[in-house]
Amino acid sequence: MQNSLMSKLIRSLKIALAALLAIVLAQELGLQYPTTAGIITVLSIQSTKLETLKTAGKRALAFLCALMLAGACYGLMGYTVWAFGSYLFLFILLCLVMRWQEAIAMDSVLVSHFLGQERFFPQLGNEALLFVVGAGFGILVNLHLRSRREQFTEFSDRVDVQIKEILGDMALWLVQEDKSGYGEHGFDLLNNALQQAEDCAVANYGNAPFSRDTYELDYVRMRQQQAVILRAVYDNIRGITYLPRQAEQVAQLLRLIRQEYHRYNNVEGLLARMRELLADMQTQPLPQSREEFEARAVLFYILKQMEELLEVKKQFIRARQSE
């Protein structure tokens, strides 16, 4: 909580300082409406470097379009409220079509200065410089954003720890006939951890716009796929009331997966052990009752689900090794 508050305080200070510097520079350049440069700085700052650069490009193009529309409207209708209203209608329509909504307020403030000064071309340089100064400081602030690699490691470790806890609970509850106390709390914690890791991975990727390394994003997706599979296994375990002797074999395998569960395990050994158990179960004597048949069928399906879970990790490791 303290780290989060400190991060917000630092970010707020950076934004305020950048806006102040933009205003000071605009004043030093002798520009009219210098505070507009500070507002443009604030509006130009995004959450990541990549988003900032993309937004800056869109806003620059939108600004050029705004100037052309304003020049046409003021030229045809004079420097009147009706001319400015016509400009607003056309520019807002254009921004909605082109998905430039974030540029509407910024560019319209600049265009309103033409109305106040009742001139266009003599005022054009002033507005262009206000845009450049404001957007420039906004970009500079975001260039100081750094990837939080250590934080992602912390979040992803939480994901892995929570998955290990879920596997341990599965091994424990699988061999219990009464599963009324087997709840979903572990999955709530896992989903929260996955969301934190995903948010951090997305932010890190956005703050490294010239890097194509998607390891963190791919890692989170892999764990999300495994979380979906684990939830399905949980539902199947909850449905088992009759316990054939094969239940203990499956529980032992779950304990082994939990024991060897870490980010660098290529799961080859676990897959081999999984397939040995699947083959062994297929050669065991047939069930003697309907209850045993249904329970063994569910256990066999759980093993196939766990095999899928391990295959997801194997494919992730293989994809990273081939890069």
219 Cβ contact partners less than 8 Å away, ≥ 6 residues apart: 156, 197, 201, 263, 316
Residue-level pLDDT at 235: 92
Torsion-angle region of 284 (φ positive above 0: left; ψ -120 to 50: alpha; else: beta):
beta
Residue-level pLDDT at 164: 93
Residue-level pLDDT at 146: 55
Tokens 């009759």 belong to: 242
Torsion-angle region of 33 (φ positive above 0: left; ψ -120 to 50: alpha; else: beta):
left
What is the mean pLDDT for each group of 10 consecutive residues in the chain (323 residues)? Answer: 64 85 93 92 74 76 93 93 94 92 89 92 93 87 65 87 93 87 90 91 70 81 94 91 84 90 83 85 75 83 91 88 64
